[in-house]
Amino acid sequence: MRRSLLSLALLLLLPLAAQAQTGNPLHDQLSALEEPPRRAEVFRAITGRGAGCQAIIATYFAGFDADRTAYWDARCREGALYRLALPPQRFAQPSLSVCGALGGGLAAGPCFQPVGTAASARVTTGVGVQLASTGSGAPPANSRFGAVYATDVPLAAFGFSNGASDRLAVNTAAVRACQGMAGRSPCKFLGEIVNRCGALVQAVTRHPNAVVMTGDLSTMVLARNFPGLGATVQEAEAQAMEACRAVPGATCRVAASGC
Per-residue pLDDT 10s for the chain (259 aa) are 444 445 444 544 444 434 446 778 888 888 888 889 999 999 999 998 888 888 998 888 888 888 888 889 888 887 788 889 999 887 788 888 887 654 456 666 667 777 754 433 322 222 223 444 334 345 677 888 898 988 887 999 999 999 988 877 888 888 888 888 988 787 877 878 888 999 999 999 999 898 999 988 889 999 999 999 999 999 999 999 999 998 998 999 999 999 9
- Is residue 228 domain-shared with residue 161, that is, in the same domain? yes
Instruction: Please check whether residue 180 lies inside any domain of the structure.
Output: yes
Instruction: Please check whether residue 123 lies inside any domain of the structure.
Output: no
**Cα four-point dihedral sign 233, 238, 241, 242:** negative
- Is residue 101 domain-shared with residue 152, that is, in the same domain? no
- Is residue 247 domain-shared with residue 149, that is, in the same domain? yes
Decide if 115 contacts 69 (C-beta within 8 A): no
The pLDDT score that the predictor gives to residue 244 is 92
CA 95 to chain centre: 15
The pLDDT score that the predictor gives to residue 6 is 55
Instruction: Please check whether residue 250 lies inside any domain of the structure.
Output: yes
- Is residue 89 domain-shared with residue 160, that is, in the same domain? no
On the 0-12 / 13-18 / 19+ scale of CB atoms within 10 A, 184 is exposed
Q: What is the rounded end-to-end Cα distance, in angstroms, of the chain?
A: 40
- Is residue 248 domain-shared with residue 165, that is, in the same domain? yes
Residue 163 DSSP class = E
What dihedral angle (degrees, nearest 10) is formed by the CA atoms of 170, 236, 224, 160?
Answer: 20
Rg of the chain's alpha carbons, rounded to an integer? 20
- Is residue 179 domain-shared with residue 229, that is, in the same domain? yes
The pLDDT score that the predictor gives to residue 108 is 62
Decide if 44 contacts 5 (C-beta within 8 A): yes
Amino acid making up residue 61: F
The pLDDT score that the predictor gives to residue 99 is 75
Decide if 78 contacts 187 (C-beta within 8 A): yes
Instruction: Please check whether residue 99 lies inside any domain of the structure.
Output: yes
Helix ranges restricted to H, the chain: 25-32, 35-48, 167-182, 233-244
On the 0-12 / 13-18 / 19+ scale of CB atoms within 10 A, 243 is middle
The pLDDT score that the predictor gives to residue 32 is 85
The pLDDT score that the predictor gives to residue 18 is 41
- Is residue 94 domain-shared with residue 154, that is, in the same domain? no
- Asked if residue 110 has a cis previous peptide bond (ω within 30° of 0), the answer is yes
- Is residue 98 domain-shared with residue 150, that is, in the same domain? no
- Is residue 40 domain-shared with residue 96, that is, in the same domain? yes
Ramachandran region of residue 26, left (φ > 0), alpha (ψ -120 to 50) or beta? alpha
Instruction: Please check whether residue 102 lies inside any domain of the structure.
Output: yes
- Is residue 93 domain-shared with residue 159, that is, in the same domain? no
Instruction: Please check whether residue 89 lies inside any domain of the structure.
Output: yes
Instruction: Please check whether residue 164 lies inside any domain of the structure.
Output: yes
- Is residue 77 domain-shared with residue 158, that is, in the same domain? no
Decide if 227 contacts 126 (C-beta within 8 A): yes
Residue 57 DSSP class = E
The pLDDT score that the predictor gives to residue 21 is 61
Strand pairing partners for 189? Answer: 149
Task: Tell me which residue range forms the domain holding 65.
Answer: 10-108
- Is residue 149 domain-shared with residue 103, that is, in the same domain? no
Cα–Cα distance list, 10 to 41, 63, 100, 111 (Å)? 8, 19, 27, 23
Residue where a domain stops, chosen among 55, 86, 108 = 108
Its pTM stands at 0.54
Instruction: Please check whether residue 223 lies inside any domain of the structure.
Output: yes
The pLDDT score that the predictor gives to residue 9 is 46
The pLDDT score that the predictor gives to residue 203 is 94
Residue where a domain stops, chosen among 108, 133, 161 = 108
State the Cα–Cα distance between residues 56 and 161, nearest whole angstrom.
Answer: 23
- Asked if residue 94 has a cis previous peptide bond (ω within 30° of 0), the answer is no
The pLDDT score that the predictor gives to residue 135 is 40
Decide if 82 contacts 94 (C-beta within 8 A): no
User: What is the number of domains present in the chain?
Assistant: 2
Residue where a domain stops, chosen among 80, 108, 136 = 108
